[in-house]
A and B are shown apart, each in its own frame.
Chain A
C-alpha cells in the first residue's frame, strides 16, 4: 500500500512539473499555432539562473529560505525575459510565414540556447543546492513523500489557480482568449495583438521557470540538456490533453505523470517511454484532438 501511495505521489509530482511546462506550450500554441521547440530551453535556463543566483548567495552566507525566494524570483524574471526575446527575434518575423518555417526557427533557437548555456557554463551535471528545507512534520512519512514533493504540489496548484484567474477575470486574459480564437478580429476590435502574444510567452515562461527551479531542487542536479527531454514530455502531455486547452494541459500532464510512474513502478523502467508514447497514440486514435481538445470542425 505504501508503495502504491509512493507511486501515486511520485506520479502526481511528475505530472505537476510536466504541467508547469506544458502550460507554456499549450498557451503559445493556442495563440499562434506554433510548437515552441525552444520552450524546454526556457525551463532549463530558469533552472540554471536559479542555480547561479543560489550559488552566489550561498557563498555570501544568506539563509536558505531567502535564497530560495530570491533565486526563484530571479529565475522567473530571467525566463520571462528570454521567452520575450526569443519571440521577438525568432517568431514574430515569421507570423505570416508557413507554419513549418516557424517550427524550424524554433528548432534553431532550441539548439542555440542549449549550446549557449553549454558553452557559457559547462557540460557537466551541476549539483543543485536543495533549496527546499525538509519539513519536520513529514519525517514519519519520509518513505512515501518528501517535502519537496509537497512544495511542488502546492506551488503547482497555486500557479494553476492564479493562471485561471488571470485568463478568466482580467482584461489581458480576455484579450488572450480573443486572440486565440480569432487574431484578425481581435486586432479589428482594438486588441494589441503583439502585446498579447508577448504576455502569453512571458506567462508561459514564468510557469516553466517555476517548474525548473522546483524540479532542480527535487532531483538535485541539472545540466544544459534537461530542457530537451522535459520539453518533449511536456509537449506530449499538452497534446494528450488537447493542445490549446489549459485544463487539457494539466489533465494530460497528470495522466502522463501517473502513467509513467505506475508503469515504471510495476512493470519496467526500460520501456517507460515506449509505454507513454503508445498510450498517447491509443488516446489520439479515439480522440484525435486530445482528451479535452476542441475537435476542430472546419466550417465548410
Chain B
C-alpha cells in the first residue's frame, strides 16, 4: 500500500453536499484519493455512492462543497462546474452501474470513442484527410487495439457491442474508459453479475492498472471478497455521509460499519463541516 501522507491527493472532495429537492443525497462528504492506490467506496444501497460519482463527473452540479483534482505534474484544479466531457478531458474517467456501451458500434469503435478527447481532427480533417489526420486515425486504431489486447477482448474486435457476453461488456466499459487516458478511474460496481472466475480476472486487471499504468482506482463495490482483496483503503458511506475509512482490516472490525450494514441503531459520528475533523 502506498499512501504517502506528504503527497498531495490527486482527487480531493471537500464538504460535498447534494440535495434533490428536499432529499439530501450527499451530506458534507470528504474524501481523498492519492497516487497509486485503490480505494473502495462501500455502503448499503441508497448510501449515495453513485450520486457521488455523478457529482464528481459533472452529471449533477453539487449543491455545495468543492471537488479538486491534481493531474500528475500539474496544480490542483476545481472541477465543480465542469461538464462531463470536460471532466473526462482533465483525466478522470468512469464506468456505469448499468452498462452504457454503444450497442450498435463495434467493440473497437467503442474504445476508439474513448480516444475522442485525445484527438484533434475536425471537419476539415475528416473531409480532406491531410497526412496528420491519417496518421492520427492509424494511431487511434492501433492504440485502441492495444487496449483491447491488454483487457483481453481482442478476439471480439469487430463484434457489435450489444452481442457481447455480459462479463465482456463490463470489461469493454473499462477498456473504453481507459482509452481516455485517465490518471484516475472511477468504477461503478464493475464486478456486478460476474462469476468468481471473472471476478478474479477483474481483480488482476485492476491491480495491473494501478501498478503498470499508474492509474488510481476509486471503485464502488458490493462484492466484499473483492473489496477486501483489492483495496488499499476503504471508505464507508451511509445516508450520504462518510461513516468510516481505513484499511480493509480496520474496516472489517469497525463496529459502526457493521451496524450500518446490519441496520441496528447506531450513533454514527457525524462529520462536521469543518476542516479539522477527518
Binding site for B on A (CB under 8 A): 299-300
B54 within 8 A of A: yes
A-B pairs with the 3 shortest C-beta distances? A300-B54, A300-B59, A300-B96
Binding site for A on B (CB under 8 A): 50, 54, 59, 96-98
Q: Which residue of B lies closest to A299 (CB)?
A: B98
How far in angstroms is the closest Cβ of chain B from A95?
A: 19
Task: Provide the bound-state CA to CA distance between A300 and B54, in Å.
Answer: 8
What chain B residues lie within 8 Å of A299 (beta carbons)?
98
Say what secondary structure dominates the interface of chain B.
loop
What chain A residues lie within 8 Å of B96 (beta carbons)?
300
Task: Provide the bound-state CA to CA distance between A300 and B94, in Å.
Answer: 12
Task: Provide the bound-state CA to CA distance between A300 and B100, in Å.
Answer: 9
Q: Which residue of A lies closest to B188 (CB)?
A: A300
Task: Provide the bound-state CA to CA distance between A299 and B20, in Å.
Answer: 13
How far in angstroms is the closest Cβ of chain A from B130?
A: 36
What chain A residues lie within 8 Å of B50 (beta carbons)?
300
Q: Which residue of A lies closest to B57 (CB)?
A: A300
Task: Provide the bound-state CA to CA distance between A299 and B100, in Å.
Answer: 12
Task: Provide the bound-state CA to CA distance between A299 and B98, in Å.
Answer: 9
- A selection of 6 A-B contacts at a CB cut-off of 8 Å is A299-B98, A300-B50, A300-B54, A300-B59, A300-B96, A300-B97
What chain A residues lie within 8 Å of B97 (beta carbons)?
300
How far in angstroms is the closest Cβ of chain B from A143?
A: 50
What chain A residues lie within 8 Å of B59 (beta carbons)?
300
Q: Which residue of A lies closest to B59 (CB)?
A: A300
What chain B residues lie within 8 Å of A300 (beta carbons)?
50, 54, 59, 96-97
Task: Provide the bound-state CA to CA distance between A299 and B50, in Å.
Answer: 10
Task: Provide the bound-state CA to CA distance between A40 and B267, in Å.
Answer: 62
Task: Provide the bound-state CA to CA distance between A171 and B158, in Å.
Answer: 49
How far in angstroms is the closest Cβ of chain B from A57?
A: 56
Q: Which residue of B lies closest to A298 (CB)?
A: B59
Task: Provide the bound-state CA to CA distance between A300 and B97, in Å.
Answer: 8
Task: Provide the bound-state CA to CA distance between A217 and B108, in Å.
Answer: 62
